Every structure is written in C-alpha cells, then in structure tokens.
Amino acid sequence: MRDVAVVAFAQAPNVRRDSDRNEVEILMPVLHEVREKVGLERDDIDFVVHGSTDFQAGMPFSFVGALDAYGAWPPINESHVEMDGAWALYEAWVKLQTGEIDTALAFAYGKGSPGDLVDVLRLQLDPYLVFPLGIDPIGMAAIQCRAYLEGVGRTEADMASVAVRDRRNGMTNPCAQVTGEFTVEGLLAEPMFVSPLRRHDCPPISDGACAVILAAGDRARDLVEHPAWVVGIDHRIEAPGLGMRDLTVSESTRIAAEKANASGTFDVAELHAPFTHQSLILEDTLGIDAAVTQVNPSGGALAANPFMVAGLTRIGEAAQRVLDGAAGRALAHATSGPCLQQNLVCVLEAREG
C-alpha cells in the first residue's frame, strides 16, 4: 500500500440556520483555509472530490454549483459522491493508491436548514413498502434504540451519559453547536421525544461544511511535521430493511474495523453516532475502553451534525489530533443510512504503516 496521510483539516462553524450565506458562501472560506494550512495552491491539488445530496439543498445539480466555491477553470480532475464526505475521502484515498495523483482534496457541505430534514430523509425509504407507513429517521432510530436497550440491557441513563460527555467535550470545540454542562439526572427529567429517545439522544440539525487534504509519501512529509497516516480504511454496508438486520449490534462496523486493522488501543476515537444509543453500539463493537481512549473530543455528531458532512468531520477531527502531535493513534468512524446501515472505519497514526 502507498503511504497516504491527512495533512490538513478545516471546517465551518456549525449553526442551526445560516440565513445569510448560501452553500457556496459557506464552503468558500473552508476550502481556502484548508489549502492555506499547508500552503497549497489550487494547481497543487491533483484531485477534488466531495460529498453532498441535492435532496438536502432542494436544488438539482447543487453539487455541481458547489464547485463554484473551489473554482473549476481551467477544468479540474473532479468527482462527487451522493454520500457523506467520508466516502469522498475514501474515493480520494483509492485514487491516491493507484499512483495517478499525489494530493487530493475531499470536502463536504450540508445545509440542513432550507428543508425539513426529517421529511427529506424520509425520501430515501422504499416508496412501496416503507415510506407509506409514515415512519421517519427518528422513529427508525427509536426502534433500534428500543431493541438495543431491551436486548443488551443498557439503560436510558447510559444514553444520557453519552450526551453529557459529547456536549461537555463540545465546549472546547469552537465549531460545535450544542454544548454545555449537563447531568444525567437533569437530562432524564426531560420529556420523551420519540420514546425511548429524548431530545438529547438525537442529533441537532446543522448547517456546515468541512474539508480534508490528503497527500502521499514524501509530499505529505514535506507539507507537515506530523502527517496523520491513514494506516487502515474500509467501509461496509448492510441490507436496508430494518427487519433484515440485528439492530443491537453493528456488524458492518465490526467488519470494516477488522479490515482496517482497528484493533489495539487508541488515544482518540471520533465516532459518527447521531444518536446516543448508536454511540454505545459503536463503542461496544469497536471495543473502545473509555479509560484509555478519549471518545469524541470534538463533541461528535451530538454537538453538531451537518448531514453529509459529519462523517468526514470525524476523520478530520481525529486526524487533527495526530497533526497537532497530541495523539499517536486515532480512530475515526463515519455512518450513513438509517440505524447505522453503512459504516466506514479509518485508522490514523503518527507513524506510517
């Protein structure tokens, strides 16, 4: 395998509603900042790929319009995935492995505020057999949560402790949206939202964007002191039907982690768990020991969850700790689809594999 590393990460502040700026205006400063961090001009980037969905923007070909934020003249080598930006990064990593390119920019944007995101996400359901039932993504997460609590024996207090942790961690992240000091008792006193989920168990709706630059071999070594080497990365998907899978575990995460060699201990883990119980499932599956691994120092998806962005943000946040010299080994995870349907695991290390 070719040595490939994350060399830069930048993100926009996450907010519930950016009513001043459109998607291009949110992205533009992020794409400038990420290049400035490593002193790369547009000509120095060999490949650009991003993740977004037109359903969220409510505009056909909004993903093409997003290129206005980067600049596409003379024409550039570019691609797009209708997935979280973490999968854009995966495509960039694969292209780097081919040896065709030495640098790549992966970015993502998601403005959850223009439409009703819950309605928008319902559109991804099977139109014949699931959509007419009137269920939405929060209801689906609640179904998973109930199965998990009953099946594994965890409690609503365990879930609340995830929210307490992530919101507290978010206080040190200037880009986080939902932060603060809370207590498990205080959160459990709140009313049910979609039982067994309370509001603190669910992610905020966010407007946001982020960008990551990858570089291979000596290019990465020349650009930064501590490249965050991608020593393992893999993603796996499960069947879409909720009744077809075991909702109390994440088999796709387990296999992706195995293929990415995500065993042993980590200094930091950034998990893309939009719901509190999903963080518990992921921690169980990945074998994370909170005594040695700091989980979601950024606040995770409970502190800010720009749809299509938050997975790539996890890779960026994990990599940033290696770039800063604060972590020697970091784990990043991204998810897509209802109830942890598809999962990506990425292992980042200060030393190359």
Residues of this chain that interact with another protein (CB under 8 A) are: 18-22, 24-25, 28, 31-32, 42, 58-59, 65, 67-73, 111, 113-116, 119-120, 123, 127-128, 131-132, 134
Q: Considering the complex, what minimum distance in angstroms separates the CB of residue 13 from another protein?
A: 16
Our CB check for another protein shows the closer of 80 and 259 to be 80
Provide the token pair at 331: 């784990």
Is the preceding omega at residue 29 within 30 degrees of 0, hence cis?
no
CB of 323 to another protein, least distance (A): 24
Query: Nearest-CA neighbor of 152 among 243, 245, 248, 244?
Result: 248
21 vs 80 by CB, closer to another protein: 21
Residue indicated by tokens 């009953």: 150
Shortest Å distance, C-beta 31 to another protein = 6
Place of tokens 């689906």: 140
Q: How far is the CB of 69 from another protein (least distance, A)?
A: 6
* Cα distance between residue 48 and residue 42, in whole Å: 10
Residue with smaller CB distance to another protein, 68 or 251: 68
Q: How far is the CB of 259 from another protein (least distance, A)?
A: 36
Closer to another protein by Cβ: residue 27 or 331: 27
- Choice between 22 and 97, CB closer to another protein: 22
Give the type of residue at 100.
E
Closer residue to another protein (CB): 25 or 218:
25
Q: Which is nearer to another protein, 177 or 335 (CB)?
A: 177
Q: How far is the CB of 99 from another protein (least distance, A)?
A: 27
Report the 10 Å Cβ neighbour count for 88.
28
* Phi, psi angle pair for 175, to nearest 5°: -95, 0
CB 123 within 8 A of CB 323: no
Least distance to another protein, CB of residue 17, Å = 9
> In which order are the strands placed within the sheet that holds 78-81?
78-81, 48-51, 103-111, 207-216, 4-11, 228-237, 342-349, 329-336, 268-270, 294-295
- Nearest approach in angstroms of CB 321 to another protein is 28
CA 229 – CA 244 distance, rounded (Å): 36
Residue closer to another protein, measured from CB, 67 or 147: 67
145, two tokens? 């949560």
**Which of 111/200 has CB closer to another protein?**
111
**Least distance from another protein to the Cβ atom of residue 134, Å:** 8
**Phi then psi dihedrals of residue 154, to 5 deg:** -85, 170
346, 231 in Cβ contact below 8 A?
Answer: no
Pairing of β 268-270 and β 329-336: parallel
The contacts of residue 185 (CB under 8 Å, 6+ apart) are: none
List Cβ neighbours of 74 (8 Å cut-off, separation of 6 or more): none
